[in-house]
């Protein structure tokens, strides 16, 4: 794999681990991906891809996380049993956000298996859809989603250009949002993609594909212009075959955006290890500076992916928190202990 050569951050010296990883203790609760949000009711809501417990054995589900990073409890709220198909054959979660007490959920692969744009050996990620759990019609978050699967006629974002939208979370119930828009980033395939694009939408129109717009150019001062035509969207960050499904959050304490991504050492392989890559930026569109690059993060055997930063578990004053991530999806018959939620404490060292 090529080294990550990128300007170093002048704000954040780096990321330091404060301890070893902690696997979720209930070994029968398996899954991966876990996009998450901190909701107004103080719960963390997430979705597991290919959950191997509860009402689901493939596709995805909706889960709630209660408690702190060292004693949290995962509860399956909705098995989403209409969402079927293992791996790229079925829908997989990409984003979750709570806005005005409503949960919004993004998933990809609505149209089934497609050819990935960068390399056919990688897992594709395309044809994304956004649905909502509205607190007016369903006060129990995550139980009822609109539209139901049978009523979804086409993707919100057809194709791969915005095929894996990850909402940018700004705190509990998105309380530190920069304006009246919701923002999301997306790579161009599930693993080892090359281009990251940024979209935004008024926060009262999140499920409407025609209300979204994307960065299409920058002026001489670095300010973005926006377009409603997804085909005109340009990357805000390009790293050849080094962008896995992304995670971006806003850290109000230091007024910076933190972007997490990862890459597999071998395309769509659960055996060959991954690299962790962390950037920071003053705006969701950049400019990006490198905070942390770690080759064979967690070791080759662990093969971790999809790092997430639960903002509920991040101390803004100390710049300390817990990273959550998934582990190798190799067959369980091989004694795989990694395919479940894992957490690890870390600190951001500031200049």
pLDDT per residue over 139-172, tens digit each? 789 999 999 999 999 999 999 999 999 999 999 9
Over range 299-324, report the average pLDDT: 98
pLDDT tens readout for residues 240-278: 999 999 999 999 999 999 999 999 999 999 999 999 999
- Per residue in 280-296, pLDDT tens? 999 999 999 999 999 99
Q: What does the pLDDT read at residue 57?
A: 85
* 349 SS3 class: strand
* Confidence bin at 112 (pLDDT 50/70/90): confident
Distance of CA 67 to the CA centre of its chain: 21
Q: Where do the H-state alpha helices sit in the chain?
A: none
The confidence band for 23, taking pLDDT boundaries of 50, 70 and 90, is: very high
Q: Please write the tens of the pLDDT for every residue from 41-88.
A: 999 999 999 999 988 889 999 999 999 999 999 999 999 999 999 988
Residue 185 has pLDDT above 80, yes or no: yes
Q: Calculate the average pLDDT of the chain.
A: 95
Rounded Cα distance between 206 and 301, Å, is 39
Within 8 A by CB and 6+ apart from 204, the residues are none
Residue 119 has pLDDT above 80, yes or no: no
Coil, helix or strand at residue 250: strand
Percentage of the chain modeled with pLDDT above 70: 100
DSSP class of residue 57 equals: S
Do residues 279 and 248 touch, judged by C-beta distance below 8 A?
no
Residue 223 scores a pLDDT above 90: yes
Q: Which of 1-10, 222-231, 291-300 has the lowest mean pLDDT?
A: 1-10
pLDDT of residue 56: 83
Beta strands in 60-120 (DSSP E): 62-66, 73-78, 92-99, 102-108
Range scoring the smallest mean pLDDT among 124-138, 188-202, 238-252: 124-138
User: What pLDDT shows up at residue 2?
Assistant: 72
Tokens of 275: 């690299």
């Amino acid at each position: 794999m090529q080294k990550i050569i990128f300007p170093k951050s002048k704000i954040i010296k780096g990321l330091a681990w404060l301890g070893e990883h902690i696997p979720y203790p209930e070994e029968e609760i398996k899954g991966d991906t876990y996009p998450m949000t901190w909701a107004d009711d103080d719960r963390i809501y997430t979705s597991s891809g290919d959950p191997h417990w509860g009402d689901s054995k493939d596709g995805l589900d909706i889960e709630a996380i209660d408690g702190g990073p060292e004693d949290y409890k995962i509860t399956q709220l909705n098995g989403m049993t209409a969402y079927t198909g293992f791996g790229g054959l079925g829908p997989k979660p990409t984003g979750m956000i709570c806005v005005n007490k409503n949960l919004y959920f993004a998933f990809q692969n609505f149209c089934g298996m497609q050819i990935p744009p960068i390399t056919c050996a990688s897992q594709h990620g395309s044809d994304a859809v956004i649905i909502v759990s509205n607190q007016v019609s369903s006060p129990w978050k995550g139980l009822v989603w609109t539209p139901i699967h049978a009523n979804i006629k086409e993707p919100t974002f057809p194709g791969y250009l915005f095929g894996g939208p990850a909402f940018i979370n700004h705190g509990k119930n998105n309380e530190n949002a920069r304006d009246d828009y919701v923002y999301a980033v997306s790579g161009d395939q599930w693993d080892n993609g090359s281009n990251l694009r940024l979209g935004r939408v008024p926060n009262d129109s999140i499920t409407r594909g025609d209300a979204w717009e994307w960065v299409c150019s920058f002026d001489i001062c670095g300010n973005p212009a926006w377009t409603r035509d997804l085909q005109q969207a340009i990357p805000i960050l390009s790293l050849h075959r080094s962008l896995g499904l992304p995670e971006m959050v806003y850290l109000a304490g230091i007024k910076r955006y933190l972007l997490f991504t990862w890459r597999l050492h071998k395309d769509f392989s659960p055996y060959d290890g991954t690299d962790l890559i962390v950037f920071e930026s003053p705006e969701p569109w950049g400019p990006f500076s490198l905070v942390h690059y770690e080759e064979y993060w967690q070791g080759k055997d662990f093969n971790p992916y999809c790092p997430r930063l639960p903002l509920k578990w991040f101390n803004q004053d100390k710049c300390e928190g817990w990273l959550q991530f998934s582990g190798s999806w190799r067959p369980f018959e091989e004694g795989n202990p990694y395919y479940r939620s894992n957490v690890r404490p870390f600190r951001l060292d500031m200049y």
